[in-house]
Structure 1
Amino acid sequence: MTNWPAHSRRVVPWTSTSRRGTREDRTLAAVTVSIPPMIADADVPAIAERDLARARYEAADLERVADGVLSPLAGFLIRMESVASSRIEHVEASPIAFARAIGGLKENTSAMSMVAAGAAITKLIDASSLVITLDEILAAHQALMQDDPDVAERPYAGRVRDVQNWIGGSQYSPRGALYVPPPPEEVPALLEDLIVFANRDDVEPVTQAAIAHAHFESIHPFTDGNGRIGRALIGAILRRRGVTPHTVLPVASALAADTTHYFSLLTAYRAGNVEPIVTDLALCVETAAREARGTARAFAQYEDAWREQASPRAGSAADRILPVLLTMPVFTVEQLVDEVQDIPERSVYRGVQVLEEARVVEAVTDRKRDRTYAAMDVLDEFEDLDARIRERITRLRALGAEYWKQNPRVAVWY
């Protein structure tokens, strides 16, 4: 077990503000909260250096392989990360529903939440190239929660909580909760301390991202959206430290493959064992990067494959639309007209029709006005990449679990 400051525990008064729930909920008078340690200047142990080096190498190799398609790949991977991160919170939608939501249509609440998660991830990662700030974290949370289906949560968008929250247990009180974060009055100082840690340059980057994520989840600074913002923080740190200067690794797909395992990593961290979350994130980074290389290679071939499939006349609107589909795989004709401004609107309509007839794009809405289209090859890759990551990480974790069973003194988190 790696030496790391464990969370302390404290009993604090609790007064119910709701008349709902059981008698035990209404009469609960005290609750034991968990207090994360201050880590801004903590000594970070060297852990699994080979695994971490391999993770950084695979991330760098992804950017090398994806050199010609970095921009569209980055947009794709952010959407991929938003889908997987949302799934951990039990927010799921079909690829078509997600496509409609991306196109700006009102869809089911899950699809809309996934799009909001993508906006939040983008905002935080794009702003973090030099330094991560509380304002940027709050702005990302605002983007995530401002249109939340739960109207009661919207006033808390972009705001640090001023109430006690908890995970699991009763809906009406912390009775029987799996984890109770620190009281609200302690959150600002804990966040300030965490942000100092997240901006250090003397900690191995993947280790830093893993610890910062686990610590953020332990502080649980928001009334809702903590998991999605906390996982976006992983991407922000990897971007700031130069591990992923142009892409975003869909590590949430790997984490979502076994949520029980993921939550056990956070529990181990709170007990003072930092090694499990670090080594697992290294495995997630390595796996996500390796499988995303396959997506990068597919992206590099799509345009030629589409051109062969549709046989557009050289220089025609359909021919000129094809390269745009990688960066805008879901679109309305009006959005496409704005993107390719030097092509007359009527020609764009005709070009989309040619590509639809060739089944390069498909309409994902039935209405005639403001119809939304999608490049289905790109949408299909969402599910393919997610499946590849989940299968690979499950296999690798199983191999690791077998090793730890045979060597119980090495680690205890499996």
Structure 2
Amino acid sequence: MPAIIAEARVVIDTGLQAEAEDAVREITRFDAEVTAFAERRAEGDGDDSTTELAPLASVLLRTESASSSEIEGVTAGARALALAAIDAKAGPNAQLVTANVAAMQRAVELADDISIDALLAAHRALLGSQAYAAPGRLRDQQVWIGSNALSPHTASFVPPHPSRVPSALDDLMAFVQRVDLPVLAQVALAHAQFQTIHPFNDGNGRTGRTLVHAMLRHAGVTRTLTVPVSAGLLTDTTGYFQALTDYREGYIETIIQQFIIASFRAIDNGRELVDDLERVYVAWSERLTPRRGSAAQRLLPHLLSQPAVTVAHVEAVTGVALSAAQRAIDQLEGAGILVRTNENRRNRVWIAPDVIEALDAFAERVGRRG
């Protein structure tokens, strides 16, 4: 029986509340820093301000989705994710993480209207091909965590009966709409309540973390980026899962503290990733001097977020003819920016190893392996 929280009185230690407010300011500052960098670069290049921002926003979205999946034991490295994004050969884990990217994006797009329907849409994007999970539908069976598949006896947690899920979610949505709580504390508590309701057959953790980003965007804490908070949680998954247990036992401060710590970790790691990618981009620009507006030049920022390409993919994202797409790849390969991954004349794939290295370094800093 989950607690009813829509109008519950929430008492938070003043020191913890101050820390939460500091974390929110830091998240907003990071969002503004990356946006300002992108706009300065675009102004210098004479391009639209979204040209440079889009790759940075996309790569942070993907790293957050990968970390969120890793918390659930679904691991995929940067190379595998890049290949999966262009439908090249990739394992099932990479495909699951790619679906998580879509779910995260869907949730952020629906941030202006956080609702049960929005959560169902995110879940459908996450597990659309997994029939067992009933994608986009609330569960109609009992589930449990931490026991064998035959019985809930000895389970570490048994969520509410499926008949109680709709009303519990209605209560949660009312809590999400409150404006009298510190933002990060409200986000942490809403996430913990969602995990307690456990409304789906599968994918609750990943969908619950999409709710985090929808709420941050809805509150105006983030404007353009998906700050990799899950990467911060991934650094201490034991503490994160214990905080969820504490919440269910009536102790709310542990989960708030976890989100505060995770936010600062995420920003530190995110800043380092953005700095690494900026260095990569500057080095590329020095090694390659194609004419302004050429396909090769337009492809450079795209490679920051999608470091695996085919000729057909380049043709699609740059809008040039197939022959021009091949010339762009040849230029980038000649400059050492792209490296061919196979020697087949058909279905050839190239990767940008500098970007893969930066993304793998991000994963190493949060303890993720893929």
Give the TM-score of the pair, scaled to structure 1. 0.80
Matched, 1:43 2:9: yes
The worse-fitting range, judged by mean Cα deviation, of 239-248 and 252-261 is 252-261
Mean CA deviation greater in 360-369 or 239-248: 360-369
Of residues 340, 351, 360 in structure 2, which corresponds to 1:374? 351
Equivalences for 1:314-325 in 2 at 5 Å? Answer: 316-325=294-303
Match of 1:387 in 2: 364
Residue 194 of structure 1 deviates from its aligned partner by: 0.5
- Identify the residue that residue 110 of structure 1 maps to in structure 2: 93
SS in 1 for 2:113: coil
Q: 1:222 matched to which residue of 2?
A: 200
Tell me, yes or no, if structure 1 residue 80 matches structure 2 residue 63: yes
In structure 2, the residue matched to 1:139 is 121
Q: Which amino acid in the other structure matches residue 79 of structure 2?
A: I
User: 2:34 maps to which residue?
Assistant: 66
Shift of 1:389: 4.3
Distance in 1 between the 2:189 and 2:237 partners?
Answer: 18
Counterparts of 1:14-413 in structure 2, within 5 Å, are 35-47=1-13, 48-67=16-35, 68=38, 69-128=52-111, 130-148=112-130, 151-153=131-133, 156-312=134-290, 316-341=294-319, 343-364=320-341, 367-389=344-366
What per-residue deviation string (whole Å, max 9, x for no partner) do you get for residues 362-407 of structure 1?
Answer: 334554333333322222222222333459xxxxxxxxxxxxxxxx
Distance 1:284 1:54, change over 3 A: same
1:330-372 C-alpha deviation (Å, 9 max, x unpaired): 332212212222x332122011122123221233455433333
User: AA paired with 1:38?
Assistant: I
Please list the CA deviations of residues 293-342 of structure 1 after superposition, one character each: whole Å capped at 9, or x if unmatched. Answer: 2222333343331122334455543233223323443332212212222x
The aligned amino acid for 1:86 is S
The alignment partner of 1:140 has SS state of helix
Counterpart-to-counterpart distance in 2, 1:137 and 1:315: 40
CA distance in 2, matches of 1:386, 1:243: 25
Structure 1 residues 284 and 311: CA distance shift in structure 2, 3 A: same
Contact 2:229 2:266 in 1 (8 A): yes
In structure 2, the CA distance between the partners of 1:56 and 1:366, relative to structure 1 (3 Å rule), is farther
Q: Name which one, 1 or 2, has greater alpha-carbon Rg.
A: 1
Given that 1:141 and 1:229 are in contact with CA atoms closer than 8 Å, whether structure 2 keeps it comes out as yes
**Is the alpha carbon distance of 1:106 and 1:223 closer, same or farther for their aligned partners in structure 2, counting shifts above 3 Å?**
farther
**Displacement after TM superposition at 1:158 (Å):** 0.6
TM superposition shift of 1:93: 2.3
Residues 367 and 209 (structure 1 numbering): CA distance in 2 closer, same or farther, change over 3 Å? farther
1:266 partner amino acid = L
CA distance in 2, matches of 1:167, 1:142: 22
Deviations 1:251-272 (A, max 9, x none): 1112122222211000111111
TM-score (norm 2): 0.89
Structure 1: state its 5+ residue gaps. Answer: 1-34, 392-414
**SS at the partner of 1:320?**
helix
Alpha-carbon RMSD across the aligned residues, in angstroms, is 2.0
Shift of 1:126: 1.5
1:132-160 per-position Cα deviation (integer Å, ceiling 9, x unaligned): 01111001111111123xx533xx11110
CA distance in 2, matches of 1:315, 1:132: 40
Give 5+ residue unaligned stretches, structure 2.
Answer: 39-51
Cα shift at 1:174: 0.8
CA distance in 2, matches of 1:191, 1:367: 51
SS in 2 for 1:182: coil
| Count of aligned positions | 351
Distance 1:115 1:320 in 2: 24
SS in 1 for 2:325: helix
SS of residue paired to 1:66? helix
Deviation by residue 1:144-194 (Cα, 9 ceiling, x = unmatched): 11123xx533xx111100000000111111121110000000000001110
Q: Is the 8 A contact 2:21 2:184 kept in 1?
A: no
Q: Which amino acid aligns with 2:129?
A: D
Deviates more, 1:216-225 or 1:258-267: 258-267
Structure 2 counterpart SS, 1:159 = coil
Give, in whole Å, the separation in 1 of the partners of 2:194 and 2:136. 15
